[in-house]
Amino acid sequence: MGKILIIDDDVQVCETIESLIARAGHEAVSSYNLRDGLAKVNNAVFDLVFLDISLPDGNGLDYLQQVKDSSGNPEVIILTGKGDADGAELAIQGGAWDFLVKPSSVKQITLSMRRALEFHEEKQTKAHCVALNLDNIVGKSSEIKSCYDLVAHASGSDANVLVNGETGTGKELFAQTIHENSKRSKNNFVVVDCASLTETLVESTLFGHKRGSFTGAQADRKGLIPLADKGTLFLDEVGEMPLAVQKSFLRVLQERAYRPVGENREFKSDFRLIAATNRDLEAMVSRGDFRQDLLYRIQTIHIHLPPLRDREGDIRELTSFHLSRLSSQYGVPPKVANSDFYDVLDNYDWPGNVRQLFNIVEQAFVAAGSGNTIYAMHLSDALRIKMAKSNLQKGEELTQELQGRSTSASALGEDYVSEKKDSRRLNQDSVINAAVSDILTGELPTLKVFKGIAEKKYLEELLLRHHGETASILKISGLSRSHFYALLKKHGIND
């Protein structure tokens, strides 16, 4: 029996889905807002969550990952009251199981629910049976954790894998991890540097050659593809592979057969392929720089590694991990990083990603000498200057953007300011002007008296406009709850 949570502000929708869940023999729980739904999903284990997009206190899509990362790692079916192609795309990209438009038929809801629960049960069973070795992969951010499921999926199959991401994100490390967790782990993991392959030497490098097959071939040589037999062939930076080489390799990939240079017969190699690149292969295909048929072949499973700047919280964990590793490598007592060191690291964009972070941490480790604590001062002057300039540039860009918006809003108010806001501002101005005119009619009061009268009128207007709804009043006025009630008491106003 599955446990299912429905987060939707439409009571009728919740009751309908609850009825379907009960008929299917499962347990149903409903929440009518995000706050209550998130509290429930964090305090109990659910197998499936129906999550509405438009809720009174927020957008369900903004909390999709948080729901998926809760203790039960439930599947999520997104609900929406209208057809929204962009919302569907975001939901699927975020890992939602399905996207249903309300009202959906009973058959559609039931089918989607049944398939999601079957998938969840199978996934949970596999998770208990297969323990991934992730010793060298560090990170607990939701961005990197989403890659772990794909690593498990890839490790349990023999399908071709494409790993893409910026330079330094750990593509080869993930490829090795897949190999080490696969049934081929006891055989070779063979790396092919595609950037170094030339059309003249590619066949010899990949397939091998016989002695005397060309000038300089003084002995038989075994190629990289036969070395990968029963193991894994890793094509590093596959986007750099020349077109002519792509054509040769495509046939090898299709047939798992090759012919060494100078040989008149073919041989078989049972290798598993993992490719990696930091380039946009689909864009290369559209430009004619990469073969579409080869791209289809190499990306049966696609893993995108997020850049370090998007991995919230992982910088500190990676730094701590590397410091521990460096202590063992150098044979010295453990070192810890001071908070000011982390402050600098957290505010940098890391264009070189994890590789750059590890290099910089090692430089600081060495600069700290015999000390047990690493400070920001142990970073090189060049790096600190680069980081400072980067932060200043980001600040300037933000200022320019805000100034640009302000200028545009003044010149073209309708681009940035809605008619509703304009109307509200005019209404506020007229109310303020009227109030001030009333107070200033006749003999002028003291400033203290004027402030008191204006304050009372402001509070009365707040209560009138927002019908005494405290939450709205506090948000608009900027007052704390205690201060608001103190002012009401001061002026003898009943809320």
Q: What pLDDT does 181 receive?
A: 93
| Residue 385, in any domain of the structure | no
Compute the Cα dihedral for 474, 480, 482, 487 and give only its sign: negative
Say yes or no: 197 and 293 in one domain.
Answer: yes
Per-residue model confidence as pLDDT tens digits over 133-166: 887 899 988 788 888 888 988 998 899 999 999 9
Residue 79 CA to residue 50 CA, distance in Å, equals 7
Say yes or no: 148 and 297 in one domain.
Answer: yes
| Residue 222, in any domain of the structure | yes
Q: What pLDDT does 238 receive?
A: 94
The type of residue at 65 is Q
Say yes or no: 190 and 284 in one domain.
Answer: yes
Say yes or no: 73 and 212 in one domain.
Answer: no
Which of 379, 404, 432 delimits the end of a domain?
Answer: 379
Which of 258, 286, 306 delimits the end of a domain?
Answer: 306
Q: Give a three-class secondary structure readout of the chain.
A: CCEEEEECCCHHHHHHHHHHHHHCCCEEEEECCHHHHHHHHHHCCCCEEEEECEECCEEHHHHHHHHHCCCCCCEEEEEECCCCHHHHHHHHHCCCCEEEECCCCHHHHHHHHHHHHHHHHHHHHHHHHCCCCCCCCCCCCHHHHHHHHHHHHHHCCCCCEEEECCCCCCHHHHHHHHHHCCCCCCCCEEEEEHHHCCCCCHHHHHHEECCCCCCCCCCCEECHHHHCCCCEEEEECHHHCCHHHHHHHHHHHHHCEECCECCCCCEECCCEEEEEECCCHHHHHHHCCCCHHHHHHHCCEEEECCCHHHCCCHHHHHHHHHHHHHHHHHCCCCCEECHHHHHHHHCCCCCCHHHHHHHHHHHHHHHCCCCCEECHHHCCHHHHHHHHHHHHHHHHHHHHHHHHHHHHHHHCHHHHCCHHHHHHHHHHHHHHHHHHHHHHCCCCCCHHHHHHHHHHHHHHHHHHHCCCCHHHHHHHHCCCHHHHHHHHHHHCCCC
- Output the domain CATH number for residue 341: 1.10.8.60
| Residue 332, in any domain of the structure | yes
Q: What pLDDT does 415 receive?
A: 46
Q: What pLDDT does 81 receive?
A: 74
Say yes or no: 281 and 373 in one domain.
Answer: no
| Residue 397, in any domain of the structure | no
Q: What pLDDT does 439 receive?
A: 56
Say yes or no: 171 and 47 in one domain.
Answer: no
Say yes or no: 293 and 164 in one domain.
Answer: yes
Q: What pLDDT does 26 receive?
A: 92
Which of 306, 335, 361 delimits the end of a domain?
Answer: 306
- Residue ranges of the chain with per-residue pLDDT less than 50: 128-129, 409, 411-431
Say yes or no: 298 and 314 in one domain.
Answer: no
Q: What pLDDT does 283 receive?
A: 92
Say yes or no: 192 and 212 in one domain.
Answer: yes
| Residue 88, in any domain of the structure | yes
| Residue 135, in any domain of the structure | no
What domain range includes position 472? 419-491
| Residue 175, in any domain of the structure | yes
Structure tokens that stand for 123 in this block: 């996934």
- Output the domain CATH number for residue 107: 3.40.50.2300
Per-residue model confidence as pLDDT tens digits over 394-405: 666 666 666 665
Q: What pLDDT does 416 receive?
A: 41
Say yes or no: 149 and 297 in one domain.
Answer: yes
Say yes or no: 194 and 296 in one domain.
Answer: yes
Q: What pLDDT does 131 receive?
A: 60
Q: How many domains does the chain have?
A: 4
Say yes or no: 164 and 269 in one domain.
Answer: yes
Q: What pLDDT does 434 receive?
A: 53
- Output the domain CATH number for residue 211: 3.40.50.300
